[in-house]
Chain A
Amino acid sequence: MCLAIPAEVLEIKGNTAKVDCGKGVLIDVNIMLVDTQVGEYVLVHAGYALHVIDRKAAEETLQMWEEILNNE
Chain B
Amino acid sequence: MTEKLKFRDPKIAKKIIARTKSLASGYHKFCHVCGTHEWTITHYGLRTLLPENIDVIAGPGCPVCILPAAEIDEAIWLALNGVTIVTFGDVIRVPGSESSLQEAKASGGDIRIVYSERDAVKIARREPSKDFVFLAIGFETTVPTTAVEILNKPPKNLTFLVSHRLIPPAMELLLGIGDLNIDGFIAPGHVSTIIGMQPYEIFPKAYYMPTVIAGFEPLDVLFAIYMLLKQIKNGEAKVENEYTRSVTRLGNIRAQKIVEKVFKVVDGHWRGLGRLPLSALAFREAFEKYDARRKYNVKIKSSRDLLPGCQCHLIMIGKIVPTECPLYMKICTPQAPKGACMVSNEGTCRIWAKHNFVVKIT
Contact = CB atoms under 8 A, between A and B. Distances in A.
Contacts of B137: 1
A60 interface: yes
Interface string A38-50: 0000010111101
A25 interface: no
A33 interface: yes
Contacts of B194: 50
Contacts of B104: none
B60 interface: no
B245 A33 contact: no
A66 B193 CA distance: 25
B258 interface: yes
B76 interface: no
B190 A58 contact: no
Contact of B245 (A30, A50, A54, A72): A54
Contacts of B252: 33-34, 50-51
A53 B3 CA distance: 12
B246 interface: yes
Interface stretch (B51-59, B140-148, B177-185, B292-300): B140-148
B99 interface: no
A4 interface: yes
Contacts of A43: 190, 193, 246
B280 interface: no
Interface residues of A, number: 29
A55 interface: yes
Interface residues of B, number: 46
A1 B346 contact: yes
B231 interface: no
A29 to B, nearest CB: 8
B139 A1 contact: yes
A71 to B, nearest CB: 11
B116 A33 contact: no
A10 B85 CA distance: 33
A3 B246 contact: no
Interface stretch (B11-19, B197-205, B268-276, B324-332): B11-19
Nearest to A66: B12
Given A1-B90, A1-B137, A45-B142, A34 B62 contact: no
Nearest to B346: A1
A32 B148 contact: yes
A59 to B, nearest CB: 7
A58 B3 contact: yes
Nearest to A47: B116
Contacts of A33: 144, 148, 252, 254-255, 258
Interface of A: 1-4, 30, 32-34, 43, 45-48, 50-51, 53-55, 57-62, 65-66, 69-70, 72
Q: Which 7 A/B pairs are nearest by Cβ-Cβ distance?
A: A47-B116, A58-B245, A2-B141, A57-B244, A69-B15, A2-B190, A57-B245
Given A43-B246, A46-B117, A48-B145, 11 more contacts: A1-B88, A1-B344, A33-B148, A33-B252, A45-B141, A46-B88, A50-B141, A51-B246, A58-B3, A59-B3, A65-B12
27 contacts: A1-B64, A1-B139, A2-B190, A3-B36, A4-B141, A4-B193, A30-B118, A30-B145, A32-B148, A33-B144, A46-B116, A46-B117, A46-B138, A47-B115, A47-B116, A48-B116, A48-B144, A48-B145, A48-B148, A50-B141, A53-B245, A53-B246, A57-B244, A61-B242, A62-B6, A65-B12, A69-B19
